[in-house]
Amino acid sequence: MGAKLAALVVLAAFLAGPAACEGASICFNGWLRLPTYNPWLCSRGSRMRSLPRQRGPYPSGLGLGNGYYDNRWSRSYCPRAEGIVRGAVRDAVAAYPGIGAGLIRLFFHDCFVRGCDASVLLTTTNSNNSDTEREGLPNKNSLRGFEVIDAAKAAIEAACPGKVSCADIVAFAARDASYFLSNRRINIQMPGGRYDGRESFANETDQLPGPFSNVTELQATFAAKGLTSDEMVTLSGAHTIGRARCMFFSSRFSEMDPAFAAKLRAECNGNDDTNVNQDDVTPYVLDKQYYRNVIDRKVLFTSDAVLNSTETMTQVRENANRAGAWERKFERAMENMGKIGIKARADQGAEIRKVCSRVNN
CATH number at residue 130: 1.10.520.10
The reply to whether 27 falls in a domain is no
- Rounded Cα distance, 81 and 70, in Å: 9
Is 191 domain-assigned? yes
Q: What is the pTM of this model?
A: 0.87
> Is 296 among the domain residues?
yes
Binding site as annotated, residues for substrate: 209
d(CA 148, CA 100): 10
Nearest C-alpha neighbor of 113 from the set 138, 140, 142 = 138
| Binding-site entries for Ca(2+) | 110, 113, 115, 117, 119, 133, 240, 279, 282, 287
Q: How far is CA 26 from the centre of its chain?
A: 20
Instruction: State CA 3 to chain mean position distance.
Output: 27
Q: 245 in helix, strand or coil? A: strand
pLDDT at residue 344, rounded to an integer: 79
Residues 6+ apart with CB under 8 A from 262: none
In the prediction, which pLDDT does 33 show? 55
Active centre residues (catalytic) = 109
Is 248 among the domain residues?
no
Distance CA(223)–CA(57), nearest Å, equals: 9
Tallying the residues shown for the chain, one arrives at: 361
Give me the domain span that covers residue 235: 80-242+278-338
173 domain residue, yes or no? yes
Q: Is residue 126 in a domain? A: yes
Q: How far is CA 244 from the centre of its chain?
A: 13
Query: What is d(CA 328, CA 333) in angstroms, rounded to the nearest whole number?
Result: 9
> What pLDDT shows up at residue 32?
57
DSSP string across 55-112: PPPPP--TT-BTTGGG-TTSTT--TTHHHHHHHHHHHHHHH-THHHHHHHHHHHHHHT
Residue ranges of the annotated binding site for heme b are: 239
- Provide the 3-class DSSP secondary structure of residue 358: strand
- Euclidean distance between CA atoms 162 and 146, whole angstroms: 19
Q: Under a CB-based contact definition with an 8 Å cutoff, are residues 205 and 133 in contact?
A: yes
Q: Judge whether 226 lies within some domain.
A: yes
**Given the DSSP bridges, would you call strands 243-245 and 275-277 parallel, antiparallel or unpaired?**
antiparallel
User: Domain total for the chain?
Assistant: 1
Question: What are φ and ψ of residue 153, in 5° steps?
Answer: -60, -45
pLDDT tens per residue, range 293-338:
999 999 999 999 999 999 999 999 999 999 999 999 999 999 999 9
DSSP state of 274: -
36 inside domain: no
Position 349 scores a pLDDT of 80
Distance from C-alpha of 326 to C-alpha of 271, rounded to nearest angstrom: 34
pLDDT, tens digit only, all 361 positions of the chain = 444 443 443 333 333 333 333 333 344 556 555 444 344 334 333 333 444 445 677 787 888 999 999 999 999 999 999 999 999 999 999 999 999 999 999 999 999 999 999 999 999 999 999 999 999 999 999 999 999 999 999 999 999 999 999 999 999 999 999 999 999 999 999 999 999 999 999 999 999 999 999 999 999 999 999 999 999 999 999 999 999 999 999 999 999 999 999 999 999 999 999 999 999 999 999 999 999 999 999 999 999 999 999 999 999 999 999 999 999 999 999 999 999 999 977 667 899 999 999 999 8
